[in-house]
Amino acid sequence: MNSRETNQEKRRRWQEALETQIAQPEDPLLVYTFRRSWNTSARPISARCIDKRDYIVKGQQAGRQIVNEQIVARLGIALNAPVGEPKIVEISPDLLELDPLFNYLTPGSAHATLFIPNCFDNRDLSKVYTDQPENRLRFALLCVLYGWVQAKDHQFIFQKNRPNLVYSVDHGHFFPGGPNWTENDLEQASAATLDERLRSACHFTTDTEEIQTALSQLSNITETQIIQAVAASPAEWDFTIKERVTMIEYLIIRQGELVQLL
């Protein structure tokens, strides 16, 4: 990467890298059977895939939410943050015909996150395990991840058994504008900071050891990893090349803003 590149040259290079990645998509996992659904805005389902593992699946009817889910989960994996493992899955028309309860799903590729068993939901961070030593770095990584992408609708799950490890799930409403974000939303976003809700709940400061560790891990994420996260959404999803390039620029700028806190 040439530090003297103009912004136009960078965007052209990112577009070429995206087009190469999108032309060679990962093989989707075939959804084998549906288990249950939830009547929320994205209408996710629990499903078992051909690899004999259980996933939480959101179909294309969820719109831009599944794009957000893929990007945030893959960035979280790159950061080593406690997020669910993301996959691309395939919902066949034949499977939908077998079970009309799920006929609202769009056949074709869909977003999936590996199911994390034996957990409970909790949004009220004042009453959960923010002070447990095993969770301190996990929350610090989420504080950095959430500040990087700009989190909304914070949702967490915790293991039922000690040490009650925290995981971050359901990122469909992240980014400025949530699932309805536009290029202008990304371009006009305020500078990146640590996520205020997590910073306050966990009593983090910029100098907190776990925050410094999380920021150091953020600094090690490469441009290639960011491009791969943005390229992962299949071509048939509502996510144009131009929007993807703007997303890459948004993430790289905000990564730099947070790394300055080291």
Q: Give residue-wise pLDDT tens across range 127-136.
A: 778 889 999 9
Distance CA 92, CA 108 (A): 6
What is the arithmetic mean of pLDDT over 218-234? 98
Mean confidence (pLDDT) of the chain: 95
Distance CA 185, CA 80 (A): 27
Q: Does residue 1 lie within any of the structural domains? A: no
Per-residue pLDDT at 1: 56
Q: Note down the domain range covering 183.
A: 7-259
**Percent share of the chain, pLDDT over 90:** 89
User: Is it the case that residue 102 has pLDDT exceeding 70?
Assistant: yes
Q: What are the two backbone dihedrals, phi and then psi, of residue 113, each rounded to the nearest 5 degrees?
A: -125, 130
Per-residue pLDDT at 194: 98
Q: Does residue 56 lie within any of the structural domains? A: yes
Per-residue pLDDT at 39: 86
Q: Does residue 223 lie within any of the structural domains? A: yes
Q: Which two tokens stand for residue 16?
A: 């070429």
Distance CA 136, CA 180 (A): 32
Q: Does residue 94 lie within any of the structural domains? A: yes
Nearest by Cα to 118 from 161, 84, 85? 161
Q: Number of folded domains in the chain? A: 1
When pLDDT is cut at 50, 70 and 90, the band that residue 3 belongs to is: low
Per-residue pLDDT at 99: 84
- For Cα atoms 21, 174, 147, give the angle at the middle one, nearest 5 degrees: 95
Q: Does residue 246 lie within any of the structural domains? A: yes
Q: Give residue-wise pLDDT tens across range 179-224.
A: 999 999 999 999 999 999 999 999 999 999 999 999 999 999 999 9
Distance CA 45, CA 102 (A): 9
Q: Give residue-wise pLDDT tens across range 40-68.
A: 888 999 999 999 999 999 999 999 999 99
What is the arithmetic mean of pLDDT over 159-169? 95
Per-residue pLDDT at 245: 98
Q: Does residue 141 lie within any of the structural domains? A: yes
Q: Does residue 216 lie within any of the structural domains? A: yes
What is the arithmetic mean of pLDDT over 115-140? 91
**Percent share of the chain, pLDDT over 70:** 99
Per-residue pLDDT at 129: 85
What is the arithmetic mean of pLDDT over 227-245? 97
User: Is it the case that residue 112 has pLDDT exceeding 90?
Assistant: yes
Q: Does residue 28 lie within any of the structural domains? A: yes
When pLDDT is cut at 50, 70 and 90, the band that residue 32 belongs to is: very high
